[in-house]
């Protein structure tokens, strides 16, 4: 079922939030250990996905051009600015419910794993990336609910709707793409997405601070290059 990954993602946020309500006080050391553990797992997943490519040159070109485009469009800055505006607006009355809802939604929705996983689910029915993200979001929900309250739980709704919409669109568009091109695109999208996920893992472990969101246009560049190669060959 192509929507299963998004549904499971929503359920883990709900489950994590309920557990967070029980575990009121989580120490800073425990939060750090959990975050670093998630980083290690994400790092390993990224390597596994990246190694499936058959054209590292195309992947590198797509990442570099996509990164330049992302920096020019200020994608990450825009996302951060939007997040700050929403938090300022909802936190103005010291509403922990709204703050928890907005913050958790932004963390769970904004990112390469959300978009890439939803596309993979729609195109091939592969929910592996969304399942991995679901585990990460579940632990995130535990930690955030412990400090911000029940509002985090309701972030499951926009997460399911957002990822489900991307999955539905991807499943519709796949009908108009030649099978050979689709197979190649899926493999290489998984590879470039793996490098982005690897970057997320490094960020979670506080090793680097890569602006992953600015690399997202690399997916569009990659699809453009692969499409050009297919029709020109």
CA 13 to CA 115: how far, in whole Å?
17
Closest listed residue to residue 105, CA positions, set 149, 39, 166, 151:
151
The backbone torsions φ and ψ at residue 52, rounded to the nearest 5 degrees and listed phi first, read -80, -10
* CA-wise closest residue to 197 among 10, 44, 33, 3: 44
pLDDT(58) > 60: yes
Q: Determine the Cα–Cα distance for residues 67 and 155; give it in Å rounded to an integer.
A: 29
Which whole-number Å values give the CA distances from 144 to 37, 50, 101, 149, 187, in the listed order?
A: 17, 31, 10, 7, 35
Predicted confidence (pLDDT) at residue 93 exceeds the cutoff of 60: no
DSSP state of 55: -
Which token pair is 199?
A: 């970057």
Enter the tokens of residue 76: 């990450």
Q: Count of domains in the chain?
A: 1
How sure is the predictor about 94, in pLDDT bands with cuts at 50, 70 and 90?
Answer: very low
How does DSSP classify residue 212?
G
Chain segment 139-175, per-residue pLDDT in tens: 889 887 877 778 888 889 889 999 999 999 989 988 8
Question: Tens of pLDDT along 100-134?
Answer: 776 677 677 766 678 888 988 998 888 998 999 99
86 — pLDDT class (breaks 50, 70, 90) = low
Reported pTM:
0.75
Distance of alpha carbon 142 from alpha carbon 20, whole angstroms: 4
pLDDT, the chain, mean: 84
- Quick: pLDDT tens for 7-28: 999 999 999 999 988 876 777 7
**Which residue's structure tokens are 């030649």?**
178
Q: Which two tokens stand for residue 230?
A: 């297919």
- What are φ and ψ of residue 208, in 5° steps? -135, 175
Residue-wise DSSP of 16-47 = HHHHHHH-----HHHHHHHHHHHHHHHHHHHH
CA angle in degrees (0–180, nearest 5) for 13-14-20: 85
Give me 56's structure tokens. 């590292």
With cut-offs at 50, 70 and 90, classify the pLDDT of residue 33.
confident
Q: What percent of the chain has pLDDT over 70?
A: 88
Domain that holds residue 212: 4-232
**What angle in degrees, to the nearest 10, is found between the helix axes of 28-50 and 179-204?**
150
For 219, the 3-state DSSP assignment is helix
By the 8 A CB rule, do 52 and 192 touch?
no
Indicate the burial class of 55 (C-beta count within 10 angstroms; 0-12, 13-18, 19 or more). Answer: middle
């Amino acid at each position: 079922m192509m929507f299963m990954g998004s549904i499971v993602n929503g359920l883990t946020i709900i489950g994590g939030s309920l557990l967070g309500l029980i575990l009121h006080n989580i120490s800073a050391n425990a939060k750090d250990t959990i975050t670093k553990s998630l980083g290690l797992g994400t790092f390993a997943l990224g390597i596994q996905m990246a190694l499936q490519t058959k054209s590292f040159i195309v992947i590198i070109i797509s990442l570099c051009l996509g990164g330049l485009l992302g920096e020019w469009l200020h994608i990450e800055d825009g996302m951060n600015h939007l997040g700050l505006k929403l938090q300022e607006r909802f936190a103005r009355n010291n509403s922990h419910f709204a703050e928890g809802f907005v913050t958790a939604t932004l963390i769970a929705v904004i990112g390469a794993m959300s978009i890439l996983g939803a596309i993979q689910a729609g195109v091939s029915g592969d929910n592996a990336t969304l399942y991995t993200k679901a585990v990460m979001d579940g632990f995130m929900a535990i930690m955030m609910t412990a400090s911000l309250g029940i509002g985090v739980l309701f972030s499951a709704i926009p997460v399911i709707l957002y990822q489900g919409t991307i999955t539905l669109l991807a499943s519709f568009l796949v009908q108009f793409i030649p099978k050979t091109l689709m197979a190649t695109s899926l493999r290489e999208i998984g590879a470039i997405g793996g490098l982005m996920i690897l970057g997320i893992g490094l960020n979670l472990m506080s090793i680097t601070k890569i602006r992953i969101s600015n690399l997202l246009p690399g997916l569009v560049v990659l699809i453009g290059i692969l499409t050009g190669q297919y029709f020109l060959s």
